[in-house]
A and B are shown apart, each in its own frame.
Chain A
Amino acid sequence: MAECHPVGFQWVMEAKARGAKVIHIDPRFTRTSALADVHVPLRAGSDIAFLGGIINYVLDQDKYFRDYVVAYTNAPTILGEDFKDTEDLDGLFSGFDPESRSYDGGTWQYEGMEVQAASGQRDQEYERRTGSGAAVAEAGGGESHGSGGARIGEGEPERDETLTHPRCVFQVLKRHFARYTPEMVRQVCGVPEEQFRQVCELVTSNSGRDRTTAFAYAVGWTQHTVGVQYIRAAAILQSLLGNIGRPGGGILALRGHASIQGSTDIPTLFNLLPGYIPMPHAHKQEDLDAFVQAEAAEKGFWGNMRAYAVSLLKAYWGAAATEDNDFCFDYLPRLTGSHSTYETVMAQIEGTCKGYFLVGQNPAVGSSNAKMQRLGMANLDWLVVRDFSLIESATWWKDGPEIETGEMRTEDIGTEVFFMPAAAHTEKDGSFTNTQRMLQWHHQAVEPPGDARSDLWFTYHLGRLIREKLAGSTDEMDRPLLDVTWDYPTKGEIDEPEAEAVLAEINGYDAEGGPLSSYEQLEGDGSTACGCWIYCGVYKDGVNQASRRKPGKQQDWVANEWGWAWPANRRILYNRASADPDGKPWSERKALVWWDAEQEKWVGHDVPDFSPNKAPDHQPPEGARGPEALSGTDAFVMQADGKAWLYVPAGLSDGPLPAHYEPQDSPFPNLLYGQQRNPARQLLSHPDNRYQPSGDEPGAEVFPYVMTTYRLTEHHTAGGMSRWQPYLAELQPEFFCEVSPELAAERRLEHMGWATVVTARGVVEARVLVTDRMAPLVVQGRTVHQVGLPYHWGPNGYTKGDAANELTHMSLDPNTHIQESKALTCDIRPGRRPQGASAVEYVREYRRRAGITEETGTG
């Protein structure tokens, strides 16, 4: 955190100054470790074993927060009899189909839920038609719940508040994690038992009524074939300890781009519509009602999904969207499986995807398996790159690595390339959503220079031109483009669209065009329009709430008059859980919101994340639906049962509980189960995307070291905003690898000299940094070395170097389609890498030596 989010880290140091203990768990010793009380180096790719070990400690030693767990989590909920755990099936859950490599989660349900009623509406033929199983076909289903959990069907789950029923979640959890012992943690993670126990004691002694513990991760946790389950493991732990919805608690994703949260909320993502409404899949005769029925929850705020969806369609298609035409629901394009960025690369290589826009992203060095990215771009008809400088994704056709090796010739590449200079944040109005869900407005200071334009300008005028070209078309395929509302006011000499007018549409308006103030006003009858329901209220009273800037010093510690956080300016989600079931704070020290019996409403420091007048003892009337079905203790208001999920009955592609699987490429066999890798992980087969043998498989010894990638304080992601800045280039001037003195001795690597790092995908050279910061670990009885590579570099800019992503592969988490770039295996040799054609031959020779075929690593 001190490396990647140094200014945010000041608050960790404030907490430390007030007595907090800081634990840093990371394969490398960083600036964070230097300031932490405890640094725990562990093997990259073993976090579920580590977190599972803490969960086991909490359950075994009765360290969980019982009152919280019983009231606010699904620990008491009883599961159906058909559910089989990894304990029963040696690493698989029930419902796995090896052929499609996917799960049917039907047996994961709660007892008493009528799942058939819901799935009966769904398209039973879908899986057969799309030729793949539910997990990949219903792509990104897990991720589409970025704001609350999946639907769980109809009915009332059965509960046992004594937590003793053998099929209650609590008992299932106990059995599932029993094998995650300190001994197992030592064997799998390389963490000594004594140090592991110290972490367990620190975390548990700092959780409960009076104290809370927070977990912070930079998004490295997501970059695994089991990434979602890493975070699930932390969620289980934090829920057991009562650390969710309370000040000082939570699981904090420290994200890497200014508005990466915003670009997920208002998604430029294939599987989502704004506000985490899923993109519809191609089902037979699915109309809006069927779509809503299949996706909306019976209980909680997702019960009102129809209002959110109709209001979005009204924002998109305005007057053209009417009750009679299903509010233009048919205008939405349909998915047939995953269309993530990695599938798009495959589609480019296959030749179906012909045109590509790159908007402030640099996949030629920034995406996993960079070569595949360039192969895709070389097969396009046209490419538009919008950026500040000539990044690698703009220039690969004349100076990319394949030109150097002779695999491609510039004269043979047919891709037409447009480089369109982008405006900077100082040259445009707009809002970023930071990693705490807070929108902050940045004001335009100057006009953009030359041809530089904002993406608002580019998109608006591109849309305008396309609509002009298609004007008068009677072709049905053009209707959605011609009917879309596209009449934004513009200003100035360059006709820049008014960003605030777009914000007003995102916020939403009523039938008279007046701004809405809350998503609770949204209707499903077409009388309201709203571009992103969770952002409704950001333009309350016609005032840009995101630009509020009451100085922090003039506010209390919540500071809720600075910017605006979704939903409804709540700063801590699910904060009803900061009070006990009776509505009193668990302790004065940790008071956040509470029930005021006299005023008959929830009050406190933060905006209550609960219906303001719903009393703690409220019981919903029989047959209530949506938010009305939530009781006074259903604190997790977005969840279909109002509870924090220790166990996930629906919505995940790879199991209801986290289980440790080894990374796609690993030097070790899986000690915990017979199943080596995440059985539902997504693989993309291509000769340039080969996987490596693992564990005891022959050839694994060719790539004996663990490799991990990471960031540095002085650079930003793939470098497009930092390698061109002289200050930053001077601070971190060269691509390097970090190795331990022991590994340096083993491989004769010289400090400040060169090393060649190689995998089945590619080869790079890097300066060697020999340092105790990369400590060797003892795993499964033998020493394993880890090689650390920052991934900021590429051949362009002031500071140049090979890209770490030449080494990484495309093997994806099945829920999020995120690649495993945090835990791989490699070989490392002294000296510079081969140049030109011999570099290609060098990698081929490694593949031959390791016996790699298209089957390798796919089991």
Chain B
Amino acid sequence: MGIRTWIDSWPTYRQLSGDDPLGRGAAAKSRRSDTLKPRVATADKVVKSICPYCAVGCGQNVYVQDDKVTQIEGDPDSPVSRGRLCPKGSASLQLTTGNAREHRVLYRKPYGTQWESLDLDTAMDMIADRVVKARREGWQWEADGVRTRRTMGIASLGGATLDNEENYLIKKLFTAMGAVQIENQARV
């Protein structure tokens, strides 16, 4: 190592002589940190997304490697957010890939004391049966002598965290079922 290189490797010297007087950028780099690459650099693709938390609608860049999401950052292109994310938006990676997420269907029998496992297709079929039954049992052609053509047996709550397309299908299906008790977070 030459003397010049040796002096240049000294952060305080670089801080005093370079254009980083606060020592928060280039001056603070070590040989090791100089060789570090951001984890997003090796991503296979960057997918454009939107933050799922509040209604500001900040842009997100979702980094994917080997079919796994590896990082989520603010999208600098967004005229809404200009690349920024708040603490919640910055935690989107934990939200989507964290180990608190359940990946399997769980089932609790009537009067049961524990969760049991259940196959997804079986669960879907059971739910469909229950909808058909509750719909029929709660059916009202009329209320107080006036046609209502509806069921009061089924209700649904939630939608503000979903996509427009999802809300559209929920409203369409439940309306066709005759269910009217369809609500979401706009009410709270």
Q: Which residues of B contact A486 (CB under 8 A)?
A: 173
In the complex, chain A residues 396-449 whose Cβ is within 8 Å of any chain B Cβ: 397-398, 410-421, 424-428, 430-436, 438-447, 449
What are the 3 tightest A-B residue pairs by CB atom distance, in nearest-first order?
A430-B163, A552-B79, A434-B57
Q: Which residues of A contact B125 (CB under 8 A)?
A: 465
Q: Which residues of B contact A203 (CB under 8 A)?
A: none
Interface check B27, CB cutoff 8 A: no
Q: What are 21 A-B residue pairs whose CB atoms fall within 8 Å in the complex?
A: A255-B54, A263-B162, A282-B147, A333-B178, A334-B149, A335-B180, A347-B181, A359-B159, A360-B160, A413-B110, A418-B118, A419-B115, A441-B48, A443-B48, A454-B166, A462-B128, A463-B173, A477-B139, A480-B177, A484-B176, A724-B95
Output the least CB separation between B44 and chain A (Å). 10
- The reply to whether B154 and A417 form a contact with Cβ atoms under 8 Å apart is no
Q: Which residues of A contact B57 (CB under 8 A)?
A: 258, 432, 434-436, 438, 440, 563
Which positions in B face A, CB cutoff 8 Å?
A: 45, 47-60, 62, 64, 67-69, 72, 76-82, 84-92, 94-96, 98, 100-115, 118, 120, 123-132, 134, 136-139, 141, 143-173, 175-188
Contact of B156 with A268 in the complex, beta carbons under 8 Å: yes
Specify which of A334, A335, A725 is in contact with B100 (CB 8 Å cutoff): A725
A340 within 8 A of B: yes
Assembly CA distance A545 to B48 (angstroms): 14
Residues of A within 8 A of B149 (CB): 330-334, 477
CA separation between A717 and B107, bound complex, in Å?
A: 26
Docked complex Cα distance between A381 and B107 (Å):
14
Residues on A with beta carbons closer than 8 Å to the beta carbon of B110:
413-416
Query: Contact: B177 with A268, CB < 8 Å?
Result: no
Report chain A residues within 8 Å CB of B134: 354-355, 381-382
Nearest chain-B residue to A397 (Cβ)? B108
In Å, the complex CA distance between A412 and B113 comes to 10
CB distance from A123 to the nearest CB of B (A): 8
Whether the pair A340, B183 counts as a contact (CB closer than 8 A) is yes
- B81 and A455 contact, CB distance less than 8 A: no
Given contacts A381-B134, A716-B54, A724-B101, could you give 6 more A-B pairs where the C-beta distance is less than 8 Å? A256-B54, A339-B181, A418-B123, A418-B126, A441-B48, A725-B91
The answer to whether A341 touches B111, judged by C-beta atoms less than 8 angstroms apart, is: no
Assess the A421–B104 pair: CB atoms within 8 A: yes
Q: Does A555 contact B (CB under 8 A)?
A: yes
Please give the distance in Å from B21's CB to the nearest CB on chain A: 24
- B185–A257 CB distance below 8 A: yes
Q: How far apart are the CA atoms of A686 and B41 in the complex, in Å?
A: 59
Give the residues in chain A near B64, CB-CB below 8 Å: 445-446
Given contacts A358-B157, A477-B139, contact A340 B56 (CB under 8 A): no
Size bracket of the A interface: 35 or more
Which residues of A have CB within 8 Å of B77?
549, 551-553
Choose the segment among A6-14, A518-526, A835-843 that binds chain B (4+ C-beta atoms closer than 8 Å): A6-14
Please measure, in the bound complex, the distance between the C-alpha atom of A505 and the C-alpha atom of B84, giving whole angstroms.
33
Set of chain A residues within 8 Å of B144, measured between Cβ atoms = 129-130, 336
Q: Which residues of B contact A7 (CB under 8 A)?
A: 56, 58, 80-81, 84-86, 89
A259 engages B160 (CB within 8 Å): yes
In this complex, the member of A444, A455, A559 whose beta carbon has the largest number of chain B beta carbons within 10 angstroms is A455
What's the minimum C-beta distance from B107 to chain A, rounded to whole angstroms?
A: 6
| CB neighbours of B53 from chain A (8 A) | 257-258, 716, 721
Contacts of A559 in B (CB 8 A): 79
The answer for the CA separation of A196 and B22 in the assembled complex, in Å, is 44
Q: Confirm or deny: A642 has a beta carbon within 8 angstroms of a beta carbon on chain B.
A: no
Considering the chains assembled together, what is the distance between the CA atoms of A335 and B131 in angstroms?
Answer: 20
- Chain B residues near A717: list those with CB within 8 A: 185
Are A484 and B164 within 8 A (Cβ)?
no
Partner of B185, one of A361, A410, A446, A454: A361
Q: Are A445 and B147 touching (Cβ within 8 A)?
A: no
Closest to A347 in B: B152
- CB contact between B105 and one of A265, A336, A339, A419 (< 8 Å): that residue: A419
B91 touches A466 (CB 8 A): no
With A267-B171, A340-B183 in contact, do A434 and B56 touch (Cβ < 8 Å)?
yes
Q: A456 an interface residue at 8 Å Cβ cutoff?
A: yes
A353-386 interface code vs B (CB 8 A; 1 in, 0 out): 1111111110100111000000000000110101
Out of A130, A263, A348, A819, name the residue touching B184 (CB < 8 Å): A263
Contact of A10 among B52, B84, B104, B173 (CB under 8 A): B84
Asked whether B157 lies within 8 Å of A341 as measured between CB atoms, the reply is yes
Contact A462/B157 with A259-B162, A270-B181 known, Cβ cut-off 8 Å = no
A160 contacts B by Cβ under 8 Å: no
Contacting residues, chain B, for A491 (C-beta < 8 A): none
0/1 string, A159-184, CB within 8 A of B gives 1: 00000000000000000000000000
B101, A418: Cβ atoms closer than 8 Å: no
Is A263's CB under 8 angstroms from B165's CB? no
Expressed in whole angstroms, the minimum distance between the Cβ of B159 and any Cβ of chain A is 3
Q: Quick check: B49 and A419 within 8 Å, CB to CB?
A: no
A389, B101: Cβ atoms under 8 Å?
A: yes
A269 to B155, CA, bound (A): 11
A389 to B132, Cβ gap below 8 A?
A: no
A583–B59 alpha-carbon span in the complex (Å): 36
Contact of B78 among A274, A360, A562 (CB under 8 A): A562
* B74 → chain A closest CB, angstroms: 8
Q: Report whether B188 and A418 are in contact in the complex, using a CB–CB cutoff of 8 Å.
A: no
Complex alpha-carbon distance, A713 and B89, angstroms? 10
Residue of chain A at shortest CB distance from B154? A355
CA distance in complex: A713, B53 (Å) = 11
Q: Quick check: B98 and A725 within 8 Å, CB to CB? A: yes
Binds B, one of A33-41, A726-734, A747-755, A772-780: A726-734
Q: Is the CB of A503 within 8 A of B164?
A: yes
A354→B108 CA distance, assembly (Å): 16
Q: Does A264 contact B (CB under 8 A)?
A: yes
In the complex with contacts A282-B143, A462-B128, A258-B54 CB distance below 8 A:
yes
Taking a contact as CB atoms under 8 Å apart, the answer to whether A724 and B156 are in contact is: no
Asked if A4 CB lies within 8 Å of chain B CBs, one says yes
**A852 on interface, CB distance cutoff 8 Å:** no
Partner of A503, one of B128, B137, B153, B165: B165
